[in-house]
Amino acid sequence: MSLPEPTLTSLAASISDAAKGITKYLEDNGHPAPSFQESGLERYPKDPQLLGLQFQLIEATSDLYHLALGPEMMVFMQPILFDFFSAVPLGGSASYSEIAVKTNLPESTVRRVLRHAMTMRLFEEKPPGSGNLTHTSTTAYVAKYPTWRSFLGHNLEDLRPGTLHVPESLRKFSAGKEKPSEEVLESGVSLADVDRLGYPTSCWEYLDRTPEGKPEGYRANRFAEAMQIASSTEAIKSSDLLTAFDWKSYGEATVVDVGGSAGHDAITLAKSFPALKLVVQDLQQNEAKFQSNLQPELASRISYQVHDFFSPQPVAADVYFLKMILHDWPNKDASSILRNLVPSLKSGARILLFENVIPPAFDGDGNRVLPAMVQRMFSAADLQMLTAFNSMERTLDEWKALLKEADESLEIRSVLSIPGAFQSIIEVALKK
């Protein structure tokens, strides 16, 4: 007989019962209460009665956390690769031997991996002991949307090896110094040398290389799809551009999308604001994709310009926008990118930075500005930038300092938050 499916309310009740039971046991037996204070309980007594309550609390809390996040957010944390997700049919089931064939792994290994995965509500054996694996809501989500597999692969296969080398990077290049290293080739990913070249290369060069036995552009394409997922879940979307800034007030303005890749954002703006003339700037390898995206009726108003943003800006424009560009670069490089825009800035021109602005943890009264879980997402993104590029996500004060480093004439005019997005729009202009 199958156990009833847990729900938010049943799990909350189980948590409440277990917490009350643990509290009563500790009080009755003269133990301090668990807390985050320095004097809090260090170790639970090894009593079978208490142990059962602890397990009840931990399991219910874990399941409640999973359901509260929902499949889309929970997928961010899932470690399974080898495409187990598509080895189990949606709406159906697969045996261990069938999954072994699909994943090209020994059946004994498949059983071991899935035995662990099921403790985290990833896949389910139905009925228990039958050997037939079905999806849970989380694994089904990944099976339905293949680009999520690219997101997991990029983070777990491409970038995770770099995390093992971050301590080495810090010891070699930052320990004992006033400021951390700002050299891209001294990052964890560079030191990992996943391709065994015998020398460090930048994360960008690494992502552009195709691993042996994989189709051309394997890593680069997977990175592009991973960024689509990141944009769809937490970033400022192309549609947000339409309402986030008063584009109409500029009339027949020139807008430059610096590092604009295949031009998705510029195309969105051009469709809604026919007076705008847009220039998408990026490297040569993105031009073909841009041309394939460009509708003929927009070709007279959107152009592609091959440009390296470490070179002086060649276009005098009314607005320059950089979407999630500067967080990929340490301060010395990010300031150089900004500095190259300054000579082309005319009176009234704006630089719009679409970036994370890490909020303070607490306000002046000691209250949390955001839930700890949201703050953790910002800090996790920041450490990923450290791992990959020796770069960073920045606080408002750090953004101000970066502008000052780039050019004393730059100042922040406004910071606009977008509902549902982690990123903000930082409006930058020349000082009056």
For residue 329, the tally of other CB atoms under 10 A from its CB is 21
pLDDT tens for 362-374 read 988 888 888 887 8
Q: Residue 80 — pLDDT band, cuts 50, 70, 90?
A: low
β 423-430/410-417 pair status: antiparallel
Domain 78-145 = CATH 3.30.70.2860: no
Q: Is 165 a catalytic residue?
A: no
> Which residues make Cβ contacts (< 8 Å) with residue 35, sequence separation at least 6?
41
**Helix H segments across 303-371?**
331-339
Q: Residue 245 — pLDDT band, cuts 50, 70, 90?
A: confident
- Pairwise CA distance, residues 207 & 201, whole Å: 10
pTM of model > 0.75: yes
The ranges assigned to domains in the chain are: 1-72, 78-145, 148-232, 235-430
Q: Residue 120 — pLDDT band, cuts 50, 70, 90?
A: confident
> Which residues make Cβ contacts (< 8 Å) with residue 144, sequence separation at least 6?
90
Tokens 């997101």 locate to 151
Q: Residue 288 — pLDDT band, cuts 50, 70, 90?
A: confident
Residue of 237 and 406 predicted with greater confidence: 406
- Pairwise CA distance, residues 192 & 194, whole Å: 5
pLDDT tens for 247-274 read 888 889 999 999 988 888 899 899 999 9
Which CATH number applies to 235-430: 3.40.50.1970, 3.30.1600.10, 3.40.50.150, 3.40.50.720? Answer: 3.40.50.150
| From 154, 165, 264, 327, active-site residue | 327
Q: How much is the CA Rg of the chain, to the nearest whole Å? A: 25
Residue 240 has pLDDT above 80, yes or no: no
**Structure token pair of residue 199:** 């020398």
User: What is the chain's length?
Assistant: 432
pLDDT tens for 132-174 read 999 999 889 888 888 888 888 898 889 999 999 999 999 999 9
